Amino acid sequence: MTETVLDRPEAAAGSRTYEVRTFGCQMNVHDSERISGLLEEAGYAPAEEGTTPDLVVFNTCAVRENADNRLYGHLGQLKPVKEQHGMQIAVGGCLAQKDQNTVLERAPWVDVVFGTHNIGSLPTLLERSRHNAEASIEILEALETFPSTLPTKRESVHSGWVSISVGCNNTCTFCIVPSLRGKERDRRPGEILAEVQALVDDGAVEVTLLGQNVNTYGVEFGDRQAFAKLLRACGQIQGLERVRFTSPHPASFTDDVIDAMAETPNVMPQLHMPLQSGSDAILKAMRRSYRGRKFLGILDKVRERIPHSAVTTDIIVGFPGETEADFEDTMRVVEESRFASAYTFQYSPRPGTPAATMENQIPKAVVQERFERLIALQNRITAEENKKLVGTIQELLVTADAGAKGAETGRLSGRAPDNRLVHFSVPDGVETPRPGDFVTVPITQAGSYHLLSDPASAEEYRLRRSRAGDAWDRWQADSCGVGTTQVTGEKPGAVSLGMPTLRR
Ligand code: SF4
């Protein structure tokens, strides 16, 4: 796991500058957008690249075993910088929620510690700490304000995240989320739809609905079909071209959601659904109430109703007690599932979770060997599934990030409806798209993690300028031609939530 550094280059002279460093899952990335929004509303400006900010905020993750060592390592590196420049340091997110006072015990030069339930207090805590010249710590056990009602500084002009729920009512034995994020809290549909509409009015053409358990949405206000209804309601929003969601829990995946996905044209043919293990015994030990058969049954139904859908997943290898036979069950389910891609994790005990104290922890060498077999299998399936798309025509939403090789190859990048990453070239003599525009192109080659499109002529390339492209132009003009910082680094074609991802 690495971090996302969300630093903004358009700092206003004279104001305090900030930088947010984000660790962990998409929830945290979205929370960091809110932290940026709050800070800018409070008068802070993004630090220019290469300068020392007046404030560094760490938005932490508690999912990985060594997350705390890494955080304290980063804090240690900042200590001399702080002594020299007098900056403020704030630590928030899941690790802060978990460690609370320990953060100040281990790093007394930190100014503010805040939890996952009180992001909105950050500017006040910073002010209080500055005024009193002492550290300020505030951790709440329950949510005060639903995070989405806080000001947000979005990372992308064409796409936005909308939290529909926070917390989780499940008790998966490997997961720290329930104890750190609390019970599920659902926003009211009207509030969610108003936020989606506001994003669309602002130029977004794509929205991803977020929740730790997105498809149990409605449990708090007693409507079991609330998530399907929400998807259908998103289908009514003019100008909203792409709707995605992450992550659903297989145990709660109901047919009304599949129907809503299939019957709502702007809900994209894509599903990220964590498998975690293909072994029923391990799923039981993980306290995940579905079984391998049920998982495969959901995929069958999804593919029957949405034939071109791409499914991605999360898998943990080496959970305590996992036998070779259990692992082979996972390999079998993966083979049958035909995932477009998978986030694979080696199990490591996480303090505070029931699994951490289970007997039969699996030796590292065994976990590593299984992990490599799983990766080899999934890589083969990814390549085979990608190959099937060669020769198809895809409409891509053009993204701002052209990928690592963009400068070298001259290709731009976009996402297909099923969320696969496509690098494409623009034929001579035609207009180049802006981020947020759509292009329709043929897929000419399949790579391991992405697809390539090199249209043979202008006839094979169609550009559709969009409101999001116009918004990009306006954004460029407002920021004096400085491009956006796109959050990237995830494995192409996949989305993630709840488990850590690699980002910078
Ligand atoms: S893994 Fe997901 S479903 Fe399980 S407890 Fe954690 S957040 Fe909830």
Q: What is the CATH number of the domain that holds 425?
A: 2.40.50
Which residue, of 387, 402, 417, is where some domain finishes? Answer: 387
* Residue 504 forms part of a structural domain: no
Q: Could you tell me if 432 and 454 lie in one domain?
A: yes
pLDDT of amino acid 33:
87
Helix (H) or strand (E) holding 80: helix 67-85
Instruction: Report the CATH number that the domain containing residue 174 is assigned in CATH.
Output: 3.80.30.20
Annotated binding-site residue? 168: yes
Q: What are phi and psi of 101, to 5 degrees?
A: -65, -25
- The pLDDT > 90 percentage for the chain reads 62
Alpha carbon 374 to its chain centroid, in Å, reads: 23
Residues 6+ apart with CB under 8 A from 84: none
**Residue 231 and residue 125 share a domain:** no
Indicate if 168 and 245 belong to the same structural domain.
Answer: yes
| Residue 445 to residue 381: CA distance in whole angstroms | 16
Q: Decide: 213 in ligand 1 pocket, CB within 6 A.
A: yes
Among 194, 172, 409, 187, residue whose Cα is nearest residue 274:
172
CA angle 108, 31, 42 (to 5 degrees): 70
384 Cβ partners below 8 Å, 6+ apart?
A: none
pLDDT tens profile 445-484: 998 889 999 999 999 999 999 999 999 998 887 765 443 3
Residue 14 above 70 pLDDT?
no
Task: Assign 17 a pLDDT band (cuts: 50, 70, 90).
Answer: very high
Give me the amino acid identity at 91: V
Q: Is 212's C-beta closer than 6 angstroms to any atom of ligand 1?
A: yes
* Total length of the chain: 504
* Nearest atom of ligand 1 to the alpha carbon of 169: 8
Q: Which of 165, 168, 180 to mutate to test the pocket of ligand 1 (most atoms within 8 A of CB)?
A: 168
Last residue within a domain, chosen from 387, 410, 437: 387
Tell which of 105, 138, 171 closes a domain: 138
Question: Are residues 382 and 404 both part of a single domain?
Answer: no
In a domain, 487, yes or no: no
Name the residue of 169, 174, 175 whose CB sits within 8 Å of the most ligand 1 atoms, as the mutation to test its pocket: 175
115 and 224 part of one domain:
no
**489 assigned to some structural domain:** no
Same domain, 233 and 115: no
Question: Is 132 strand, coil or helix?
Answer: helix
Distance CA 166, CA 162 (A): 11
**Alpha helix (H) ranges present in 251-354?**
255-263, 280-285, 292-305, 324-337
CA-based radius of gyration for the chain: 23
Quick one: 24 and 104 in the same domain? yes
Q: If residue 393 lies in a helix (H) or strand (E), which one and from where to where?
A: strand 393-398
Enclosing domain of residue 471:
393-478
Q: Is 94 annotated as a binding residue?
A: yes
Beta bridge partners, 342, equal 313
The rounded mean pLDDT for the chain is: 86
What residue owns the CA closest to ligand 1's atom 2?
A: 212
Percent above pLDDT 70 for the chain: 88
Confidence (pLDDT) at 196: 94
119 found inside a domain: yes
Whether residue 21 is contained in a domain is answered as yes
Q: How far apart are the first and last CA of the chain?
A: 9
How does DSSP classify residue 282? H
Contact criterion met (CB below 8 Å) for 30 and 210 = yes
Indicate if 376 and 398 belong to the same structural domain.
Answer: no
> Would you say residue 502 lies in a domain?
no
At 152, the pLDDT band (50, 70, 90 cuts) reads: low
pLDDT band at 182 (very low <50, low <70, confident <90, very high): confident
Q: Which of the pair, 323 or 100, is modelled with greater confidence?
A: 323
Q: Any known ligand binding at 234?
A: no
In ligand 1, which atom is closest to the CA atom of 174?
1
Pocket of ligand 1 contains residue 168 by CB under 6 Å: yes
Residue 495 lies in a domain: no
For residue 166, the one-letter residue type is: V
Tokens of 77: 């590196």
The alpha carbon of 181 and the centre of ligand 1 are apart by a number of angstroms equal to: 10
Residue 123 phi, psi (nearest 5): -60, -40
Residue 484 belongs to some domain of the structure: no
> Which has the closest alpha carbon to 421: 388, 399, 454, 390?
399
User: Closest Cα to atom 6, ligand 1: which residue?
Assistant: 175
* Model confidence at 241: pLDDT above 50: yes
Ligand 1 centroid–CA 3 distance in Å is: 22
24 and 108 assigned to the same domain: yes
105 with 227, same domain: the answer is no
Do 131 and 186 lie in one domain? The reply is: no
- Contacts by 254-259, CB closer than 8 A, 24 or more apart: 254/215, 254/224, 254/225, 254/228, 255/301, 256/225, 256/228, 257/215, 257/227, 257/228, 257/231, 258/298, 258/301, 258/302, 258/305, 258/306, 259/228, 259/305
Structural contact between residues 72 and 35, judged by C-beta atoms closer than 8 angstroms: no
Highest-pLDDT range among 137-146, 149-158, 485-494: 149-158
Q: Tally the domains of the chain.
A: 3
CA of 197 to the centre of ligand 1 (A): 29
- Does the CB atom of residue 181 touch ligand 1 within 6 A? no
Same domain for 158 and 53, yes or no, is no
CATH of the domain at 31: 3.40.50.12160
